[in-house]
Amino acid sequence: MDTTVEVILVWKSLHTVMKIYRNQYKTSESLRRIQEKRIRFLVDFAYHNSPVYHRKLRDAGITPQDIMNVEDMQKIPLITKEEIKSVFPHGIVTPGFSQDNCTVKTTSGTSGSVITILYDREAQSHFSAISYRDHLAQGLRPWHKFFILYHDPAQLKKSSRTILQRVKGVSGTLPEEELVKEARDFQPDFMGGHPSAYVAMATVVKNRGIEDLNPQAVLLGGEVAYPSYRTYIEKVFRCRTLNKYGAYEAYSIAWECQHHEMHINADSVLVEFLKEGEPVAPGERGEIVITNLWNKAMPFIRYRMGDVGIPSEESCSCGRGLPLMKDLEGRADDFIVLPSGRAVPPTRLIPPFFLSPHVGEFKIIQERKSCIRIQLVPRGTLPEKEEKALLQELRNVFQEPVEIEVEKVERIRQKGRGKFKAVISKAGMSLF
């Protein structure tokens, strides 16, 4: 790229970052006005340009004039990944946009369904600035060295250094030993990527007595950062961890500040927490539904993420006006739903297995409400007494009759693209 052009692009990026940086300190009322301005534009644009949204609004008896504020959004029917996938590209990609003039992303397919997503240039610029704002708030500075694990081959970048970043991107599919070597060679100030990958790296560091890999923080995202995972990573790397919640459908949705509060990027995405189609109260568990406020090329309006979270009405002492999430509990299909209908989050199930010195890898699979299958990779020999103790801990959590089967295998984690899920429930999606 021509040097002059590169400088112009960098300064445009800086201008966008500075404008968006100020938004996080606006009042909740000001942020709501930003949201409602974008909502009115987006709904009108989608109604006139996207066949799938025109049909959904028409069938619901709604016109763009009926959607003036955040509350009005509840009139619009929800949309699922399968619906979008079934009409791609002509039913969802708006006129004038194509893979030739847009940024193209592909979801990981963890839920069993892969979709392609197009971002127009304005939206891509906005969300790149949002992501950079997140990192600034989490302590990352342009002069810091940032080591990132990429799990999508299309994301993989070579080491780079510009005014805005100094990054080394490495494929997260490499063996843990190689990832540790790459990180030690780079000596990063910050590291980022999937929690499960850093758990695996931390195990190598711990077992080998490595002491020269001590970043200021590990920024976790792409998977649920279970408390036991975070504690382990923090102990081994002797640093803090900070969480981030995002998806290609909306890029960065929420992120954890240094006061350990999860801030929602309200100036780029509208987040709803629903149960049976109605908003839940603060502190109550709900299904996460998002509206991407910027992407014209391929709108996502009231899109069911399949994730479960808890909203908060509290404010953060960091002074930002962005709304908060109390917790991100995982995907709906991470929850074990018992015969009584009671839902058990994965955070209740993982610690006993993760903390056991006799378990190398594990996966908890719910085939049906009355049957749980556990895959275990023993570390050495798994004593019968230890196995019985692990199963009893599960029964103590369930507190109702459930059949538990144990299957000992040689390996669970597969090398290659995609996220690792420690808990999979075929009954979990019935929650909402």
| CATH code where residue 232 lies | 3.40.50.12780
Q: What is the mean pLDDT of the chain?
A: 89
Q: Does residue 341 sit in the same domain as residue 412?
A: yes
Q: Does residue 130 sit in the same domain as residue 271?
A: yes
The reply to whether 200 falls in a domain is: no
pLDDT of residue 96: 96
Q: Does residue 358 sit in the same domain as residue 421?
A: yes
Q: Does residue 27 sit in the same domain as residue 124?
A: yes
Q: Does residue 235 sit in the same domain as residue 108?
A: yes
Q: Report d(CA 335, CA 196) in Å as an integer.
A: 18
- Residue 394 is part of a domain; what is its CATH number? 3.30.300.30
Query: Where is pLDDT greater, at 46 or 165?
Result: 46
331 — pLDDT class (breaks 50, 70, 90): confident
Q: Report d(CA 149, CA 198) in Å as an integer.
A: 9
Q: Which residues contact 108 (CB under 8 A, 6 or more apart)?
A: 114, 151, 152, 222, 417, 418, 419
Q: Does residue 317 sit in the same domain as residue 407?
A: no
Which H helix or E strand runs over 286? strand 286-292
6 — pLDDT class (breaks 50, 70, 90): very low
Write the burial class of residue 13 (CB in 10 Å: 0-12 exposed, 13-18 middle, 19+ buried).
middle
- What is the pLDDT averaged over residues 207-218? 96
Domain final residue, candidates 296, 326, 356: 326
Strands, E, within 133-220: which ranges?
146-150, 160-161, 166-171, 190-193, 217-220
pLDDT of residue 413: 67
The reply to whether 153 falls in a domain is: no
Question: Could you check whether the bond before residue 89 is cis, i.e. omega within 30 degrees of 0?
Answer: yes
pTM assigned to the model: 0.88
Domain final residue, candidates 287, 302, 326: 326
Domain final residue, candidates 298, 326, 354: 326
Q: Does residue 118 sit in the same domain as residue 238?
A: yes
pLDDT of residue 18: 84
Domain carrying residue 53 = 1-139+216-326
257 — pLDDT class (breaks 50, 70, 90): very high
8 — pLDDT class (breaks 50, 70, 90): very low
